[in-house]
């Protein structure tokens, strides 16, 4: 008989991924009771703490804005689960805040992703799962039991079924994101893929980006990345490939943070189609990461 598990979200930032996971895996789902005190502090409570004892507890909490509040809610949920004698705590964090500070860019800086992962571990997490972390090597700061899953497969399937790109080329915004472009290109039928390089016109000073080797003329260009934050990089890339003769511009990303006037930048870039996942709530979140996370949970929990 399959063991009943409890999937719990620590506060309001699971973006319904917890519900989708419970449905896919066919296991029990519990929502944490959540409220905010007048001074802004968070309050959470397990509705039936006696149900936690000797169970494997999966806590789903994405760490989008306000990041610090959602981080602390996650820590409260982990610590409380341990207090109530959970057998095992698995923290599922679809979007991991602070992951872009993965090294010291300037002397005196902390490595923010290291601080956060160590804190989540020390709070009582036995296993940790995230989606398209900025640099996968950052998971070494958690240690054994950390998993990074990619949403690029689901994004590629969505684009293939809903956009039906013609003569496509998949582009990464830089060499570091080439792994994402390769994955999407493979699922689209082993189509061409490349990464973009910035070039500055020495006379006008104008910056544009061009594929390193391939041409985009009369082709559907699919730009993929892990994060759209301010939208500047994607907007520049889209505008540049348009000037180079791209037929259509399609953008896919895992985490649509859309900070500040990002939406305005994307609109001005005349992108034909944008798709993101539900790690972060947005109007572009048309793909769920739950199936990819569920596969890892099946391995950990042996179900």
DSSP 222-253: EEEEEEESSSHHHHHHHHHHHHTT-SEEEEEE
- Is residue 1 domain-resident? no
Q: Does the pLDDT of residue 5 top 90, yes or no?
A: no
Read off the pLDDT of residues 104-138 as tens digits, 9 standing for 90 and up: 999 999 999 999 999 999 999 999 999 999 999 99
State residue 9 phi and psi, 5-degree precision.
Answer: -105, 135
Tell me, what's the pLDDT at 199?
72
Give me the mean pLDDT over the 238-265 stretch. 96
Instruction: Assess whether 21 and 141 both reside in one domain.
Output: yes
Question: Has 198 been annotated as catalytic?
Answer: yes
Instruction: Assess whether 114 and 174 both reside in one domain.
Output: no
- Is residue 270 domain-resident? yes
Q: Output the domain CATH number for residue 61.
A: 3.40.50.2020
Q: Among 48-52, 90-94, 129-133, 179-183, whose mean pLDDT is lowest?
A: 48-52
Contact 297, 163 (CB under 8 A): no
Burial class of residue 60, CB neighbours in 10 A (0-12, 13-18, 19+) = buried
Number of domains in the chain: 2
Instruction: Assess whether 97 and 214 both reside in one domain.
Output: no
- Is residue 234 domain-resident? yes
Tell me, what's the pLDDT at 208?
72
Give me the mean pLDDT over the 11-17 stretch. 88
Instruction: Assess whether 92 and 127 both reside in one domain.
Output: yes
Tell me, what's the pLDDT at 207?
66
Please give the residue range of the domain that contains residue 292: 6-150+288-301
Read off the pLDDT of residues 185-212 as tens digits, 9 standing for 90 and up: 999 999 999 999 877 666 766 667 888 8
CA distance to 51, 238, 239, 249, 270, per residue, from 245 (Å): 60, 11, 10, 10, 13
> Which residue is it, tokens 């500047």?
232
The pLDDT > 70 percentage for the chain reads 94
Instruction: Assess whether 120 and 162 both reside in one domain.
Output: no
Tell me, what's the pLDDT at 219?
96
Cis amide linkage into residue 70, ω under 30° from 0? no
Give me the mean pLDDT over the 210-232 stretch. 92
Catalytic-role residue among 82, 114, 198, 286: 198
What secondary structure letter does DSSP report for 3? P
Neighbours of 198 (CB within 10 A): 14
Instruction: Assess whether 140 and 170 both reside in one domain.
Output: no
Read off the pLDDT of residues 54-91 as tens digits, 9 standing for 90 and up: 999 999 999 999 999 999 999 999 999 999 999 999 99
Read off the pLDDT of residues 135-149 as tens digits, 9 standing for 90 and up: 999 999 999 999 999
State residue 142 phi and psi, 5-degree precision.
Answer: -85, -40
Contact 224, 184 (CB under 8 A): yes
The number of C-alpha atoms within 13 Å of 109 and in the hemisphere containing its C-beta is 13
Contact 216, 238 (CB under 8 A): no
- Is residue 177 domain-resident? yes
Tell me, what's the pLDDT at 1?
38
Distance CA 148, CA 163 (A): 27
Distance CA 232, CA 131 (A): 22
CA torsion angle 87 89 90 95 (round to 10):
170
Instruction: Assess whether 88 and 162 both reside in one domain.
Output: no
Instruction: Assess whether 12 and 135 both reside in one domain.
Output: yes
Confidence band of 257 (pLDDT split at 50, 70, 90): very high
Q: Which residues, 6+ apart, have CB-to-CB distance to 9 below 8 Å?
A: 18, 31, 32, 59, 60, 61
Distance CA 299, CA 233 (A): 36
Give me the mean pLDDT over the 264-270 stretch. 94
- Is residue 181 domain-resident? yes
- Is residue 185 domain-resident? yes
Distance CA 42, CA 59 (A): 16
Instruction: Assess whether 156 and 254 both reside in one domain.
Output: yes
Expressed in angstroms, the distance from the first to the final Cα of the chain is 10
Q: Mean pLDDT over all residues of the chain? A: 93
Tell me, what's the pLDDT at 213?
80
Instruction: Assess whether 74 and 193 both reside in one domain.
Output: no
Q: Per DSSP, what are the bridge partners of residue 220?
A: 248
Instruction: Assess whether 263 and 297 both reside in one domain.
Output: no
Instruction: Assess whether 258 and 296 both reside in one domain.
Output: no
- Is residue 170 domain-resident? yes
Q: Does the pLDDT of residue 2 top 70, yes or no?
A: no
- Is residue 283 domain-resident? no
């Amino acid at each position: 008989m399959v063991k009943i598990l409890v999937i719990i979200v620590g506060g309001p930032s699971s973006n319904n991924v917890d519900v989708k996971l419970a449905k896919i895996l066919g296991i029990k789902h519990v929502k944490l009771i959540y409220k905010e005190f007048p001074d802004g502090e968070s309050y959470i409570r397990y509705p039936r703490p006696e149900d936690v004892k000797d169970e494997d507890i999966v806590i789903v909490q994405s760490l989008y804005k306000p990041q610090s509040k959602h981080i602390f809610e996650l820590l409260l949920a982990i610590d409380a689960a341990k207090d109530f004698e959970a057998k095992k705590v698995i923290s599922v964090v679809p979007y991991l805040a602070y992951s872009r500070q993965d090294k010291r860019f300037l002397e005196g800086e902390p490595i923010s992703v290291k601080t956060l992962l160590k804190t989540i571990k020390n709070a009582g997490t036995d296993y940790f799962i995230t989606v398209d972390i900025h640099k996968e090597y950052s998971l070494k700061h958690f240690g054994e039991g950390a998993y990074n899953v990619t949403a690029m497969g689901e994004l590629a399937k969505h684009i293939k079924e809903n956009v039906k790109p013609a003569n496509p080329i998949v582009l990464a915004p830089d060499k570091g994101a080439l792994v994402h472009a390769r994955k999407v290109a493979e699922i689209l039928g082993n189509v061409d893929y490349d990464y973009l390089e910035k070039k500055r016109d020495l006379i006008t000073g104008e910056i544009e980006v061009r594929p390193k080797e391939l041409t985009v003329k009369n082709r559907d260009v699919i730009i993929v990345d892990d994060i759209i934050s301010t939208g500047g990089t994607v907007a520049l890339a889209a505008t540049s490939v348009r000037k180079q003769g791209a037929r259509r511009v399609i953008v896919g990303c895992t985490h649509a943070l859309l900070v500040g006037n990002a939406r305005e930048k994307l609109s001005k870039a005349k992108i034909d189609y944008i798709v993101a996942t539900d790690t972060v709530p947005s109007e572009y979140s048309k793909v769920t990461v739950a199936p990819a996370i569920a596969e890892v949970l099946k391995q950990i929990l042996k179900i």
